[in-house]
Amino acid sequence: MWLSTIAVLVCASLSNALSCNLSSDLLKEIRSYQGTVDQIINATTQGLFKGKTYDELAYFVDKFGARQAGSQVLEDSIDYLLDLMQSTGYDLDNVHGENVTIPHWIRGTQTCEMLSPRKANIPVLTLGGSVSTLANGFEAEAIVVKDFDELDRVSDKVKGKIVVYNNEYITYGVSVAYRSKGPSKAAKYGAIATLIRSVTPFSLNTLHTGQTAYEDSIPKIAAASITREHANMFQRMQDRGDKIVLKLNIQTQNLDPVTSRNVVAEIKGSRDPEKVVLVSGHIDSWDVGVGAMDDGGGAFISWYALRVLKALGLKPKRTLRSVLWTAEEPGLIGVQAYGQAHKDELDKHIFVMESDEGVFTPLGIEYVAGDEGGCILEEILKLLTPIDATQAKLVEFAGSDITIWRNILPTANLLSRNENYFWYHHSEADTMDVLDTAALDKATALWASVAYILADLNKDFPRQVPKLNIVLPSVLHV
């Protein structure tokens, strides 16, 4: 996940108290899917596919490891999936890659040595997109600020220094601003580099990376994360009046853009094949950890749902399309290319789903849709009672990549028990250990059930979406 959890921040005030008045025919139609949903749930949680989503994902991440945008490993992993999806026994329709030109940024040297008040190695993890320091780094004094307000107050002391943001974690949506905007805000006052306290509510001396976003009109300065523990140490040192001197060396490279691919697979619709219900996750990851959680889980339930439906012989009226977006992490690149390539068909995209907040025990879905749509989703989710995943929750944004369509078509996000998502996010701790085989089975069942019913209902899902009361953040690239 990139920045989408800003949704968590802004949706708190939304009310879910829908006054539903669906026709009895529609209610009857939705309820008629209970047998199909039970069949899907049985297949994934007890039958042939029990444990398979986890096993497929574990094999995949063990085989490829991290899949950073621009890397050959990402492309190899895409080739592997394209082969797998159309192999005997999987037999998905129309499996293909759709070319996307993506950036190719790589991290190089990343070292920080504290020279004063004592000598110590300070682990740093360069932020995605960061520029380099001087070729051999530089020595400079550090100044610690707790937030942007404090930065403004001490702006006359920033010039020539390394700004350390010791921003307390509040929510991801609030705190990620230091990672995205911190470098340019500090550079505006003459800072020569920035170190950002890792954006996480919990740390075992854990470094978290993620994309930074420079303002065009301001000099670009190197940016790396430090651990919460070291940020607090610097804070204590400064509070005591100690002078903090660091030698920081950050080297990065922006190589030539490369061609990557969004991975597409389908179950062709039986009645309206040109109409699409899309389920998605992203296939790229950061270069730390192995991207099992972000977003291996989301990507795998999104194609494995189709594999389960196919094996059960369930063919909906509309086309069910699974898309695994490439290059989400550097800024929703894959989805934007898809939007361009398919711009003439977007009006045939009936409903778009994404899972990119980790796949933990599923609770239901978060959605952006109008009242009637909300009522339909609530009815559909009731069918998931056997796995206790019945919530349908209206939010301002759903998903990460798919937020680019937030204002034009209905979207939804997997809602799961992901309280600790940001403990692992964009860190070396994003591994298979975060995931649970039973949770993945249930999520595949939920994903398959909801997508299938939406693709199979007699009438198209209502297209209207609620007006957004806030300005879309520019960092969302929409």
Taking the complex as a whole, the smallest distance from the CB of residue 136 to a second copy amounts, in Å, to 24
Q: Which residues contact 280 (CB under 8 A, 6 or more apart)?
A: 298, 299, 302, 322, 323, 324, 325, 352, 353, 354, 355, 399, 401, 402
Peptide bond into 201 cis (omega under 30): no
Tokens describing residue 239: 């509070």
The nearer residue to a second copy, 63 or 159, going by C-beta atoms, is 63
> From CA 340, how far away is CA 349, in angstroms rounded?
14
> From CA 147, how far away is CA 145, in angstroms rounded?
6
The nearer residue to a second copy, 284 or 456, going by C-beta atoms, is 284
The nearer residue to a second copy, 246 or 279, going by C-beta atoms, is 246
Q: Are 400 and 4 in contact (CB under 8 A)?
A: yes
The nearer residue to a second copy, 131 or 359, going by C-beta atoms, is 359
Tokens describing residue 343: 């711009």
Strands 138-145 and 245-267: antiparallel
Span between the terminal Cα atoms of the chain, in Å: 16
Per CB under 8 A, residues contacting a second copy are 58-59, 62-65, 117-118, 120, 123, 203-206, 228-229, 232-233, 236-237, 240, 289, 423-424, 427-429, 431-433
The nearer residue to a second copy, 126 or 413, going by C-beta atoms, is 126
The nearer residue to a second copy, 58 or 299, going by C-beta atoms, is 58
Taking the complex as a whole, the smallest distance from the CB of residue 238 to a second copy amounts, in Å, to 11
Taking the complex as a whole, the smallest distance from the CB of residue 118 to a second copy amounts, in Å, to 6
The nearer residue to a second copy, 184 or 206, going by C-beta atoms, is 206
Taking the complex as a whole, the smallest distance from the CB of residue 62 to a second copy amounts, in Å, to 6
User: Residue 400's closest CA among 332, 343, 327, 473?
Assistant: 332
Which alpha helices (DSSP H) does 154-296 contain, by range?
172-188, 228-239
Q: Are 293 and 430 in contact (CB under 8 A)?
A: yes
Q: Which residues contact 265 (CB under 8 A, 6 or more apart)?
A: 85, 86, 92, 93, 94, 95, 303, 306, 321, 322
Taking the complex as a whole, the smallest distance from the CB of residue 64 to a second copy amounts, in Å, to 7
Q: Which residues contact 31 (CB under 8 A, 6 or more apart)?
A: 379, 383
Taking the complex as a whole, the smallest distance from the CB of residue 59 to a second copy amounts, in Å, to 7
Q: What is the DSSP string of 381-418?
A: HHTTGGGT--EEEE-S--SSGGGGGTTTS-EEEEEE--
Give the C-alpha distances (Å, rounded to integers) separating 392 from 18, 295, 380, 386, 477: 11, 22, 9, 16, 27
The nearer residue to a second copy, 229 or 460, going by C-beta atoms, is 229
Peptide bond into 295 cis (omega under 30): yes
Taking the complex as a whole, the smallest distance from the CB of residue 352 to a second copy amounts, in Å, to 33
> From CA 123, how far away is CA 114, in angstroms rounded?
10
Taking the complex as a whole, the smallest distance from the CB of residue 89 to a second copy amounts, in Å, to 18
Q: Which residues are catalytic?
A: 328
The nearer residue to a second copy, 86 or 232, going by C-beta atoms, is 232
Tell me which amino acid residue 151 is.
Answer: L
Which alpha helices (DSSP H) does 11-110 contain, by range?
24-31, 34-45, 52-64, 72-85
Distance of CA 475 to the CA centre of its chain: 14
3-state secondary structure of 27: helix
Taking the complex as a whole, the smallest distance from the CB of residue 117 to a second copy amounts, in Å, to 7
Q: Are 444 and 303 in contact (CB under 8 A)?
A: no
